Structure 1
């Protein structure tokens, strides 16, 4: 009877790194670890942290092999390049070495599980150079379990090494972190992942379009394991070519529910052009093709982010980027200002969050994009004020923007005089600021929406920080407020006090009052008479 065929192994397991040379994207960690091994400066505990699928547990197993390798001739010592053929290397790779113990902290969280380790570390390794404990997701250990481990972790026997792995290092107590040599494994760049996947499909005798591998690498978000799982699915999804499956970009987009990048560019173009009918048709077309509304919003966000980076002068060209996309990004970057781009981003972020939690995702997506179309590219209040002052039309700030219609007339609708502005503050319930404007602000220039002033000693130190947002709230326009060394008018309080003093002097000089004061030396001028006189 013929032997049964070997069971299929998923790509994520089949292509797990067997040496540090195969561990992609972690060169800094490998160099540090290699130097430590060569110099004999080995820590007693290592902590690997990073997002899922970047190689934390694989790195721990590689370290175990590196420390216990004896070489093909049986005479070797610890090395950053384990031979992979000696008994310790093969046993560790197959997960059957008696001195390398792996424990999943997610299912062994209690103090009793840790006590077993504490008891076992007292005994020497059976057949290896080091007894090694690999604890995955170590942050899942209970507080009591961590406390029980601390003393052993700080002063373990010379023959024991601890290797910890976690995705949530912030949940590991500081007392444990301080006793470990920490390695932060980075997200793997998309270009490295795509290159790795190209080697995998070649080894699997599968044809794949470069764009398809780039899409998978981007969807993996820095995780080699996630990317290999997606690639596994893509190969299963692929149509058979001449004897071998062919993974195409179109199939990957269909499988992942991704929108074609060209379709997203057309969608952004319609958004900026203000073509409402065409925009809604394009959104529904993408939805009919199986593109999720959330993926559509995310694609638009990525595109706006890319335009902003290009405008900022950053080179974001990648091997998978088409010439059409590069030209479109450069064109938009040259036409759209930073302020409209920031508003586009904020509105898309808000729309993305709404779609993510919506009962009706596609309807929420349409409403969010319509809001973006009619609000994102309108000029901000400062720009509106500038255009009003210059007597120009309220033009939009980017291609296709709807003209701003605020219902406001010319700048004369802003408070025409400084006292009018103070009165507006009183009417809006901002009495404290109104009083400060009246008592302690000496005007150098009042030209709405700009104020130059000199501060009286009585003016509070935080006045400038409080007055600018208050002016926008009261008038609906962004103001420029600045202190100046120019010649200033007296404060309104000082002007009123001067007027009262002049009125008093005038009254005291009249013949009737002079005669009265002479006849009654102790008499005083009533303030009400001064006020009446000033009013007259």
Structure 2
């Protein structure tokens, strides 16, 4: 016998095996048991939820010679003939390819002849929404008043396309999307029957990829089994087989967008592309991921199709993220998905979407204008803060003696004698360190001055309040700030370990030597002044301090 696909091999042959549609199964079984079977049924629902399977089981059950609690026995001649597709009283019609009025007239003519075997003549019309208007009209009268031995079962995925005159003549049953856990349990059951080993994590990912469709789940599972035939099925093997991306990648990508880390986000996209991931699937899954975070930001207890650990991490991601931004991200990604589906430059469309999400100021809609206004307001606030600091510590003015008698007084700022201080610090460094380390310290001092001139004005002010002191170990530097009220903002800024690590990396790259910076705040200005006078690298004067990474 030739190989048979899993979804065909394990098609349910009893109502008990239909999963996730208990509300429909119970109703139909009760009708069969109490002999209250209707003449026309309409089964609606998304693909792979059990519409055609339920229709075939119902056709079996109403014609079964020995039904068991409303289910077919699968042993009598009628059940076996229907299962083999050889029964003359169960007729399946594909309305997608038989959608004309002539095809329907054949049905309306044949209903006048009672079935030669079995009790009922059952017509299963699949994809009924594909019928033409004339075909619907030809079916109306027969559907309304068929002979007592005729049952019509119509199945569709798009019930909104069916005329109201047809809908009003049928009992309508809506098939729900099957929950993840139910699909996973069914897949695990069939894997056990097939004797194939698989981890629960892999099975749950296949169930999640099935998107509520049992048939899709079985098709994906069969693809994964074939790709790794004879091996235990793990999550990594499933991801490799279907070209999907692990949720960990989506978490990292979301964190990059959250931190406006454009370089990191583009690196993640580049890695996914080189691993052969499908970009349209990646965009759609990442959109669903952001949708889940949006829902969790509204209600952290909301049920979503992820593990408890992943849900906990997703709830943590909702901090500092506005719902407006997440909705905007979904719109941008959906726009990108629509373009990716039809363009040859799929990567370009995705990267443009990522850039839009990282650089809000590049947008020209209302949100982009608002982002630019917020940026200007932030710069204004930083400037005001800097002005307050300068007003709290004004420059001391001294009066110089007049050069000649009768000349007016001239005010001038007292400038620190940085030249002498610089030479004094250089001499101390020469005395303490070998020549190679001394030259490295000069390069570090140059790099420090260059970094201190970058960034917002308020951050530049923090650098001016700090001193970079050579440490006792080679390559170890102390960033020292006096613990005074006017230095609170600078202390808070440099006490952040991430900022120190970033500074260490910048100094290492620019000075081309290994640098490790630690932070220390010192009580009072006197001790800081002593350190500055003898060891402060930031007081070393250079003719040209511009350096590049």
Give matches, 1:277-296, under 5 Å.
277-296=263-282
Instruction: Tell me what 2:253 maps to.
Output: 267
Secondary structure of the structure 1 residue equivalent to 2:2: coil
Verify: 1:353 aligned to 2:316, yes or no: no
Distance 1:239 1:124 in 2: 50
Shift of 1:44: 0.7
Instruction: Tell me what 2:196 maps to.
Output: 206
Instruction: Tell me what 2:50 maps to.
Output: 55
Distance 1:345 1:105 in 2: 36
Secondary structure of the structure 1 residue equivalent to 2:172: strand
Shift of 1:316: 4.7
Say if 1:342 and 1:151 are closer, same or farther in 2 by CA, change over 3 A: closer
Instruction: Tell me what 1:223 maps to.
Output: 213
Distance 1:374 1:387 in 2: 15
Say if 1:141 and 1:348 are closer, same or farther in 2 by CA, change over 3 A: closer
Distance 1:172 1:278 in 2: 49
Say if 1:63 and 1:10 are closer, same or farther in 2 by CA, change over 3 A: same
How does the TM-score come out when normalised to structure 2? 0.64
- 1:335 pairs with 315, 320, 331, which one? 320
Shift of 1:383: 11
Give matches, 1:2-17, under 5 Å.
6-17=1-12
Superposed CA deviations along residues 317-359 of structure 1, whole A, max 9, x for unmatched, are 6685262x33431222233232332333333333333333333
Shift of 1:305: 1.6
Shift of 1:384: 5.3
Verify: 1:127 aligned to 2:122, yes or no: no
Instruction: Tell me what 2:60 maps to.
Output: 65
Say if 1:387 and 1:337 are closer, same or farther in 2 by CA, change over 3 A: farther
Verify: 1:18 aligned to 2:13, yes or no: yes
Once the two structures are overlaid, the 10-residue window that deviates more, 383-392 or 94-103, is 383-392
Secondary structure of the structure 2 residue equivalent to 1:102: strand
Preserved CA contact (<8 Å) 1:211 1:320: no
- CA root-mean-square deviation: 3.0
Superposed CA deviations along residues 469-515 of structure 1, whole A, max 9, x for unmatched, are xxxxxxxxxxxxxxxxxxxxxxxxxxxxxxxxxxxxxxxxxxxxxxx
Instruction: Tell me what 2:126 maps to.
Output: 136
Give structure 1 stretches of 5+ with no counterpart: 1-5, 395-402, 405-536
Secondary structure of the structure 1 residue equivalent to 2:122: strand
- 2:238 pairs with 241, 245, 252, which one? 252
Instruction: Tell me what 1:45 maps to.
Output: 40
Distance 2:88 2:330 in 1: 55
Secondary structure of the structure 2 residue equivalent to 1:334: coil
Instruction: Tell me what 1:194 maps to.
Output: 184
Give matches, 1:83-482, under 5 Å.
83-240=73-230, 245-316=231-302, 321=307, 323=309, 325-375=310-360, 381=370, 392=381
Shift of 1:39: 3.6
Shift of 1:388: 5.2
Distance 2:38 2:86 in 1: 24
Distance 1:288 1:309 in 2: 32
Superposed CA deviations along residues 244-291 of structure 1, whole A, max 9, x for unmatched, are x32121121112211121122111112222222222222111111111
Secondary structure of the structure 1 residue equivalent to 2:319: helix
Preserved CA contact (<8 Å) 2:89 2:122: yes
Secondary structure of the structure 2 residue equivalent to 1:133: strand
Say if 1:364 and 1:117 are closer, same or farther in 2 by CA, change over 3 A: closer
Once the two structures are overlaid, the 10-residue window that deviates more, 310-319 or 214-223, is 310-319
Preserved CA contact (<8 Å) 1:387 1:393: no
Shift of 1:177: 1.5
Preserved CA contact (<8 Å) 2:180 2:305: no
Say if 1:183 and 1:316 are closer, same or farther in 2 by CA, change over 3 A: same
Once the two structures are overlaid, the 10-residue window that deviates more, 376-385 or 16-25, is 376-385
Distance 1:300 1:274 in 2: 17
Shift of 1:233: 1.0
Preserved CA contact (<8 Å) 1:50 1:185: yes
Aligned residue pairs total 382
How does the TM-score come out when normalised to structure 1? 0.66
Superposed CA deviations along residues 185-204 of structure 1, whole A, max 9, x for unmatched, are 11212221111111111111
Secondary structure of the structure 2 residue equivalent to 1:182: strand
Superposed CA deviations along residues 360-413 of structure 1, whole A, max 9, x for unmatched, are 11122112101101119989849958995997459xxxxxxxx99xxxxxxxxx
Say if 1:79 and 1:154 are closer, same or farther in 2 by CA, change over 3 A: farther
Give structure 2 stretches of 5+ with no counterpart: 384-454, 457-549
